[in-house]
Amino acid sequence: MSETEVNPAICKSTGLPRKRFYRARAHSNPLSDSHFPVPISPSHVDYSLHYPQLLSGQADSSRKIQFADIGCGFGGLLISLSTMFPETLMIGMELRDKVTEYVKERILSLRKANPGQYQNVSVVRTNSMKYIPNYFEKGQLSKMFFLFPDPHFKEKNHRRRVISPFLLDEYAYALEVGGIIYTITDVEELGDWMKSCLENHPMFEALTEKELEADPVVKLLSSATEEGQKVARNEGQTFQAVFRRIVPSDQTS
Amino acid sequence: MEVESKKDVEVAPAIIAVHPDGSSVAVAVGPDLRVFDLRGGSAVSLVDDPAAEPFHKDNIRAIRFGAEGRLFVSAGDDKTLKIWSPHSWRCISTVSSEKRVTAVAVSNDGGFVCFADKFGVVWVVDLDPPLHDKKPMPLLSHYCSIITSLEFSLDGRFILSADRDFKIRVTSFPNKPLNGAHQIQSFCLGHTEFVSCLAFVQGQEFPDSLLLSGSGDSTVRLWDIISGALLHTCEVANKAGLLESDSKEDNHGHAITDLCTVLDGLLVAVAIQSLQGIVLLRCNVSSQTLSVSQVVSVAGEAFIPTCLGSSPSIGNLWMVTGVSSLPGCNYPSLARVRVISGIDVEQEPVVLGDDNIPGGEKLLETLQGTASVDDNAFLAAAEAVKTAMCNLLIKKQYPAENRESRKKTRNDRKLKG
Ligand SMILES: C[S@@+](CC[C@H](N)C(=O)[O-])C[C@H]1O[C@@H](n2cnc3c(N)ncnc32)[C@H](O)[C@@H]1O
């Protein structure tokens, strides 16, 4: 995508952070509490710090983040979405400190190298499994992404999975009706799990084949992120589940 | 092994519940459940399910009357929930939990009992019919946070859950709760420490949606549960003049431990970790604010209530303090019960002496385990109560500097550059 055209240039001129300096533990345990700041509520987050060019004036304070990339890793998806949806504010949520720092630096250098662009993306370090309601109001998001999440194979670790029946309640809360949740993995078992969690949840319904084809974002799922590119290089299979937030049937009548 | 290493974590504060019509009072301390029949003026002998092990085998963490007094529920560290009939005081249903139970609630119609476990999962049991060993179904979950309080809204439409991560979640209680409660109505966010207790503002002139919460941040807050909006914050310890010069007092010294509405919710009694007595707050409906009405002190003994109870029909406020067991103390499961009467807009509230307490000496013998508690045992208990409340409510101690940065809430300043 645009990112591959841009990156080498920045590397030379502005010294884009190189990933290997930001390597951290491959898997974090989301259950253990780390010491990062947690906003008391969405209204306590000063988003003008995240989007200084777009949210400078007070008039803009009504503009809200609409896309969230959960466990964004090195941020490849956000970078692609940023230019595809230049009018939309989007944020990555990442648990690992160093990875978050990397994404921050990456965004800053892209902003520098491309004046006026990449102003709509940002990243926070947080545990998305605990603090989604601290960042987003009810129905605020129109898209949520869960690309190549950690698989947590063991049965007793299933509750660490970032898609689960309980957590879907919170995602349904943060998503507007009609909002879309995108998931993809190269682990078949996890793919089945995410799909069945979504299928069994009363507030989500699968997109049809036609809808999937018409949605330009679907094509990014397997190609835009670092993890996706790795899988593609190894010619690995991927399993995606894309669902829409709906009003549950016992509420429609 | 686990029990050994966390000895003082296992100390459980005494808790109290009053029947809504004022006919009986229950105290739980340690594994003991003690009930006194105020009408009959005698101790109640509980009749447990013959198939189950008798009573509770470990600390009881939650007791409450539900469904207008048609049910009574007890649960705790023995992973057992017992549902009793307050008419016969028979155990009508025993439910097993996979984990220790931290909070319970009964749906307003008495059809369902909900309980929260140590992992932050709320379970629901269908009481129709109230058989033993009914299988609880998962209802909702707070991700890895201990739930401190569970309440149904006054109109029964919502179930509320408060946790140690400062969060209050308001969830629609569905028609078929056994399939889970998926629709989150709101989150009430604003507390900066654990939420310890919830209470609804009741009374005809109030909208159904006004909620009160108490927290380790020393405040009581007023919320609209439909929107999750914070309507008012009352710095109780500050406003009641408790702060003064003792700046050495640690951060959690003025933690709110319990809330109890009295007089149809016109007044709210507040128990604070450092206060020998209670603070009465007044809730102003039109301005949607809370203000300190007065401080009612208990003179003469180190009585810091761990739990409050009252029945709406009678203006008495019941208070208990105590802990499950004290190392090196010969009063196992020590509890002390006091009553404040005359809580009325016109009258002056009085802390009743033991001679004047409803139920008299018999009640004290039943609920305290002994008619008189000696002073030394009491002082030791007061200390243990403090430790117990701390351990119960405070998850971890952040270094002071870290706590500050948590409060600042702004992160990623770097991006500004
Ligand atoms: C396998 S990586 C995938 C990263 C990226 N989505 C991609 O496709 O390249 C999963 C990421 O999720 C992050 N993560 C795991 N649990 C998380 C949590 N509870 N909150 C936020 N991020 C989390 C991990 O730190 C890791 O960076």
Q: How many domains does chain B have?
A: 1
Instruction: Kindly indicate the confidence band of residue A60, based on its pLDDT and cuts at 50, 70 and 90.
Output: low
- d(Cα A120, Cα B51) in Å, to the nearest integer? 64
At residue A34, does pLDDT exceed 70? no
User: Would you say the CB of residue A95 lies under 6 angstroms from ligand 1?
Assistant: yes
B397 touches A at CB < 8 Å: no
B72 touches A at CB < 8 Å: no
**B379: in domain:** no
Question: In sequence order, which ranges of B325-374 are alpha helices (DSSP H)?
Answer: 360-368
**B289: in domain:** no
**B350: in domain:** no
**B85: in domain:** yes
Query: For B144-156, what is the HEC assignment?
Result: CCCEEEEEECCCC
Half-sphere exposure (Cβ direction) of A60: Cα atoms closer than 13 Å: 16
- d(Cα B234, Cα B201) in Å, to the nearest integer? 15
Cβ within 8 Å, pair A40-B166: yes
Domains detected in chain A: 55-245 (3.40.50.150)
Beta-strand ranges (E) seen in A89-133 are: 89-94, 121-125
Say how many CB pairs under 8 Å bridge A and B.
Answer: 105
Helix A165-174 with A188-199: angle, nearest 10 deg: 60
**B282: in domain:** no
* Mean predicted lDDT score pLDDT of chain A: 86
Residue holding tokens 């894309």? Answer: A242
Burial of B317 from C-beta contacts in 10 A (0-12 / 13-18 / 19+): buried
**B130: in domain:** yes
Instruction: Detail the residues of A annotated as belonging to a binding site for S-adenosyl-L-methionine.
Output: 71, 94-95, 127-128, 147, 225-227
Cβ within 8 Å, pair A169-B183: yes
Half-sphere exposure (Cβ direction) of B305: Cα atoms closer than 13 Å: 31
A65 touches B at CB < 8 Å: no
- Identify which has the larger pLDDT, A75 or A5: A75
The C-alpha of A186 sits at a distance from chain B's nearest C-alpha, in angstroms, of: 26
- Identify which has the larger pLDDT, A25 or B342: B342
pLDDT tens digit sequence for A154-189? 888 888 899 999 999 999 999 999 999 999 999 999
Alpha-carbon distances, residue B4 vs B1, B9, B56, B212 (angstroms)? 5, 10, 20, 37
Among A110-114, A116-120, B90-94, B230-234, where is mean pLDDT lowest?
B90-94
**B327: in domain:** no
B49 touches A at CB < 8 Å: no
**B243: in domain:** no
Could you tell me which residues come within 8 angstroms of residue B388 by beta carbon, excluding any fewer than 6 positions away? B8, B11, B12, B13, B306, B323, B324
Instruction: List the beta bridge partners of residue B125.
Output: B113
The C-alpha of A141 sits at a distance from chain B's nearest C-alpha, in angstroms, of: 15
* A72 alpha carbon – ligand 1 mean position (Å): 6
pLDDT tens digit sequence for A6-18? 333 334 444 455 5
Active site residues of A: 150
Q: Best mutation site among B182, B192, B223, B408 for testing chain A: the one with the most A CBs within 10 Å?
A: B182
User: Would you say the CB of residue A28 lies under 6 angstroms from ligand 1?
Assistant: yes
- d(Cα A188, Cα A62) in Å, to the nearest integer? 41
- d(Cα B203, Cα B261) in Å, to the nearest integer? 10
Cβ within 8 Å, pair A169-B416: no
Alpha-carbon distances, residue B34 vs A178, B87, B116, B366, B389 (angstroms)? 53, 15, 23, 7, 21
Cβ within 8 Å, pair A41-B189: yes
Alpha-carbon distances, residue B123 vs B81, B84, B177, B223, B282 (angstroms)? 11, 18, 10, 25, 34
Cβ within 8 Å, pair B408-A201: no
Burial of A233 from C-beta contacts in 10 A (0-12 / 13-18 / 19+): exposed
User: Would you say the CB of residue A226 lies under 6 angstroms from ligand 1?
Assistant: yes
Residues of B in contact with A31 (CB under 8 A): 144
Please enumerate, as own/partner, the contacts of B122-125 that have beta carbons within 8 Å and a separation of 24 or more. B122/B147, B122/B150, B122/B159, B122/B161, B122/B181, B123/B97, B124/B177, B124/B178, B124/B181, B125/B81, B125/B93, B125/B95
Q: Tens place of pLDDT for every residue, chain B, 417 residues?
A: 333 334 444 678 899 999 999 999 999 998 999 999 999 999 999 988 666 666 898 999 999 999 999 999 999 999 999 999 999 999 999 999 999 999 999 999 999 999 999 999 999 999 988 777 789 999 999 988 899 999 999 999 999 999 988 999 999 999 999 999 999 999 999 999 999 999 998 776 777 899 999 999 999 999 999 999 999 999 998 888 776 545 444 555 789 999 999 876 678 999 998 889 999 999 888 888 999 999 999 988 888 899 999 987 777 999 999 888 766 555 567 789 999 998 876 778 999 999 999 999 999 999 998 877 777 777 777 777 777 666 666 544 433 333 344 444 433 333 433
Instruction: Give CA A250 to chain center in angstroms.
Output: 30
- d(Cα A62, Cα A50) in Å, to the nearest integer? 15
- d(Cα B100, Cα B10) in Å, to the nearest integer? 12
Q: Are A133 and A170 in contact (CB under 8 A)?
A: yes
Residue B85: what pLDDT? 95
Residue B53: what pLDDT? 61
The C-alpha of A44 sits at a distance from chain B's nearest C-alpha, in angstroms, of: 7
Cβ within 8 Å, pair A202-B411: no
Instruction: Enumerate residues 152 to 211 of chain A having a beta carbon within 8 A of any beta carbon in chain B.
Output: 159, 165-170, 172-173, 201-203
Residue A29: what pLDDT? 46
* A150 alpha carbon – ligand 1 mean position (Å): 6
At residue A56, does pLDDT exceed 60? yes
CATH of the domain at B82: 2.130.10.10
Instruction: Detail the residues of A annotated as belonging to a binding site.
Output: 71, 94-95, 127-128, 147, 225-227
User: Which token pair is A174?
Assistant: 């943060």
Residue A15: what pLDDT? 47
User: Which token pair is A14?
Assistant: 């502005």
- Domain extent at residue B165: 50-189
